[in-house]
């Protein structure tokens, strides 16, 4: 009892810093990874932060300390267009800084991210063939959809309720999606693209891009990064699972992305976020050698300046202001 009381007193006195991680600010019907926050709820969350926390930029977080108030920095991953069209104006309304970690895929104006394409093919397509057959990394993958070739209202409802990071796939389609996601995630970009092309052909889904799934253009990034309130950070070229690849591959992905962004913005890129939060000792060494001030993971933990290339972040879900306020208290315990 005494120890618990002492811990509470310590938490009340010691001021902490946390980094929040967002991906999309949009209304999204299907969100199996909890990446989307509605614009209205995002604004509610910002109001809570303004009332309860000291909101700082990543640079302030890394270089200064606070003795008076818990601090928070806001980040976005992947560079979806809604970050520019929706999140930016709301953040500007409250004068809140944020950092946007973006990729620099050469075809990003023509194709969606691979996981969005896969989701569209398997979970959203109305009619699918009864048998899926594909060879991935030399292994034949055969999967039968049995009675789920047609996307019924009941199946779609199960997909909407499913959270892929915690729950078992509720349908055969969901199971097929998850197995393919798991296999494609670790592949380099060219192999991913090759297999996705085959999957699209199987599902009879045309190549292209849905407007709400496209990413920010170079011009968008220039406007966003040179306005004074926001910063742009590195997120690799193709969003690979870095630890699954050798040192040369990792260095190329990180260096080319950093160079691309610096050429657009005419300023140094100080921060790096590891795709999927995936990294190893070589990744950390590369981040240091390339002169990044900090590297960011997806592990949920309080900011610790002694592990500057393994900074944790808390993923924000589609919570109301009141729900978010409660969650914030839990994160700061």
Q: State residue 1's pLDDT score.
A: 58
Query: Quick one: 294 exposed, middle or buried, by C-beta within 10 A (0-12, 13-18, 19+)?
Result: buried
DSSP 82-107: HIIIIIHHHHHHTT--EEEEE---TT
Q: How confident is the model at residue 2 (pLDDT cuts 50, 70, 90)?
A: low
Q: How confident is the model at residue 289 (pLDDT cuts 50, 70, 90)?
A: very high
Task: Say yes or no to pLDDT of 5 above 70.
Answer: no
pLDDT tens sequence across 93-141:
999 999 999 999 776 667 899 999 999 999 999 999 999 999 988 889 9
Mean pLDDT score of the chain: 94
Q: State residue 11's pLDDT score.
A: 52
Range of weakest confidence among 12-21, 159-168, 298-307: 12-21
For 114, 233, 325, the CA distances from 213, given in Å and listed in that order, are 11, 20, 29
Q: State residue 290's pLDDT score.
A: 98
**Helices 153-161 + 172-185 axis angle, to 10:** 50
pLDDT tens sequence across 42-86:
999 999 999 999 999 999 999 987 777 899 999 999 999 999 999
Residue 274: φ, ψ to 5°:
-80, 125
Work out the number of other CB atoms within 10 angstroms of the CB of residue 312.
Answer: 18
Within 106-180, strands assigned E span 131-136, 139-144
Q: State residue 13's pLDDT score.
A: 60
Identify which has the larger pLDDT, 4 or 105.
105
């Amino acid at each position: 009892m005494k120890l618990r009381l002492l811990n509470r007193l310590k938490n009340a006195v010691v001021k902490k810093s946390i980094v929040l991680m967002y991906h999309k600010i949009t209304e999204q019907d299907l969100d199996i990874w909890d990446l989307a926050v509605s614009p209205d709820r995002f604004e509610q969350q910002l109001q809570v932060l303004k009332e309860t926390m000291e909101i700082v930029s990543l640079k302030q977080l890394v270089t200064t300390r606070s003795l008076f108030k818990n601090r928070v920095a806001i980040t976005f991953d992947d560079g979806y267009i809604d970050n520019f069209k929706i999140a930016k104006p709301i953040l500007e309304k409250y004068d809140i800084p944020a950092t946007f970690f973006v990729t620099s895929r050469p075809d990003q104006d023509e194709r969606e991210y691979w996981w969005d394409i896969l989701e569209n093919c398997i979970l959203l397509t109305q009619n699918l063939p009864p048998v899926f057959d594909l060879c991935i990394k030399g292994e034949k993958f055969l999967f039968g959809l049995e009675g789920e070739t047609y996307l019924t209202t009941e199946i779609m409802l199960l997909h909407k309720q499913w959270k892929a990071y915690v729950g078992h796939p509720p349908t055969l389609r969901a199971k097929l999606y998850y197995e393919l996601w798991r296999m494609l995630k670790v592949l380099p970009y060219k192999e991913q693209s090759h297999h996705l092309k085959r999957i699209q052909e199987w599902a009879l889904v045309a190549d292209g891009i849905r407007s709400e799934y496209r990413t920010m253009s170079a011009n968008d990034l220039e406007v966003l990064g040179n306005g004074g309130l926001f910063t742009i950070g590195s997120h690799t070229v193709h969003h690979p699972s870095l630890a699954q690849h050798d040192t040369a591959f990792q260095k190329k992905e990180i260096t080319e992305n950093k160079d691309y962004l610096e050429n657009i913005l005419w300023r140094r890129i100080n921060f790096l976020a590891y795709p999927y939060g995936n990294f190893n000792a070589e990744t950390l060494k590369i981040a240091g050698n390339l002169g990044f001030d900090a590297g960011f993971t997806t592990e949920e933990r309080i900011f610790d300046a002694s592990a500057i290339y393994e900074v944790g972040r808390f993923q924000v879900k589609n919570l109301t202001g009141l729900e978010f306020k409660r969650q914030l208290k839990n994160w700061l315990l």
